[in-house]
Amino acid sequence: MTSALSNPGRAAALPAPRATDPGAFGRVAVVMGGQSSEREVSLDSGRNVLAALRARGIDAHAVDGIPALLDALRAGHYARVFNILHGQHGGGEDGVLQGALESLHVPYTGSGVLGSALSMDKIRSKQVWIAERLPTPRFVPLRRGAGRAGVAAAADELGLPVIVKPASEGSSVGISRVFRAEDLAAAAELAARYPGDLLVEELIEGDELTVAVLGGVALPSIRIVPKGAFYDYHAKYVAEDTQYLCPGLEGEAEAAIGALALAAFQALGCSGWGRVDVMRDRQGRNFLLEVNTAPGMTSHSLVPKAAATLGIGFEELCWRVLETSFAPAAGEGAP
């Protein structure tokens, strides 16, 4: 990793934290866990966030899942919410929680209803980017139940290799890379195990990068070099041999991917903080994959790695993410 000292220009891009007094946040609920397929990852992230906020003197408390959170908020227990739930279907990352919090007038971290909901849906994210002329891999959206025949027809249209994925999962669950026609049926079956629609996407061969966004600024990109074939669940949360290079690119290419990530984030109506996943082909062309609006904060997670490159440690990062729950300062738009 590049040290903050060797990268002074970037560090200057992040303004000073807005709050200096931990009391300015009031009593904070760190909502984690929940019922989505990403429950365990969320609990891991949430415990880390909770410990960091408390270490900074913030009056923060763990709350497991949305129903418990709403009960506590109605009882007046908390002034704001740090949302570190991951996942869809009321999992906390898809706009449902955000709508409930809006209706209770409780401030919360990260994107609002629209940005959360659009980002959770990979098909609609891509449709918005295409309308905005932002680059994303060619794809065919498929309704749930399209089955093997639908997936095979989509692969025919796109040409192999392709990647088959559920439209609304995370953590690489349900995703297959397909190089041979005979493997399409298994990929269709795997993706269909998850609720919702699916998509078949052109497989981009090259490098995988991700760009964290915090308070309207793109942090240095991270290039992910997995030991295995791709960045699957194991590489994300278990393996110790995945390599992370940060910044992932140099010079103009690094500036370009940061600008693309910010444009992609804003196009979906996102704000506060998040992470934009990108594939870069061998000609150096970037393709947007998805936006994560409540990215992981585990020991393997990427946003903390990018922040560390700027000399921002985990505690300060959590503080700054919590600040995204403040209303924008006068003259400052979202995000």
Residues near ligand ADP (CB under 6 A) are 137, 163, 165, 169-172, 175, 201-204, 208, 230-231, 277, 279, 289-290
Cβ at position 301, least distance to ligand ADP in Å: 12
**Burial of 102 per CB tally in 10 Å (0-12, 13-18, 19+):** middle
Q: Whole-angstrom Cα distance, residue 174 to residue 112?
A: 27
Please identify, among the stretches 24-32, 177-185, 275-283, 302-310, the one whose residues bind Mg ion according to the rule CB under 5 A: 275-283
Residue 50 touches which member of Mg ion, ligand ADP, none, C-beta under 5-8 Å by kind: none
The residue (of 10 and 166) whose beta carbon lies closer to ligand ADP is 166
The residue (of 272 and 295) whose beta carbon lies closer to ligand ADP is 295
φ, ψ for residue 265, nearest 5 deg: -65, -50
The residue (of 241 and 252) whose beta carbon lies closer to ligand ADP is 241
Residue 201 touches which member of ligand ADP, Mg ion, none, C-beta under 5-8 Å by kind: ligand ADP
Cβ at position 67, least distance to ligand ADP in Å: 25
Please identify, among the stretches 83-91, 194-202, 237-245, 270-278, the one whose residues bind Mg ion according to the rule CB under 5 A: 270-278
Closest CA to 49 of 245, 276, 324, 268: 324
Q: Which residues are catalytic?
A: 38, 171, 237, 275, 277, 290, 292, 296
φ, ψ for residue 119, nearest 5 deg: -70, -30
Cβ at position 231, least distance to Mg ion in Å: 8
Q: What is the secondary structure of 131-147 as a DSSP string?
A: HTT-----EEEE-TT-H
Q: Two tokens at 208? A: 């995988």
The residue (of 290 and 323) whose beta carbon lies closer to ligand ADP is 290
Query: Are 286 and 257 contacting, i.e. CB atoms less than 8 angstroms apart?
Result: yes
The residue (of 109 and 210) whose beta carbon lies closer to ligand ADP is 210
For residue 180, the one-letter residue type is R
Q: Whole-angstrom Cα distance, residue 86 to residue 295?
A: 7
201 binds Mg ion (CB under 5 A): no
Q: Two tokens at 80? A: 């704001």
Here's the x/- map for Mg ion, 22-61, by CB under 5 A: it reads as: ----------------------------------------
Q: Whole-angstrom Cα distance, residue 175 to residue 235?
A: 14
For 113, left (φ over 0), alpha (ψ -120 to 50), or beta? Answer: alpha
Work out which of 38, 94, 277, 323 binds Mg ion, going by CB under 5 A: 277
Cβ at position 149, least distance to ligand ADP in Å: 22
- What b/e readout covers 226-244, taking b as 16+ CB neighbours within 10 angstroms? beeeebbeebbbeeeebeb
Cβ at position 204, least distance to ligand ADP in Å: 4
**Residue ranges in contact with Mg ion by CB under 5 A:** 277
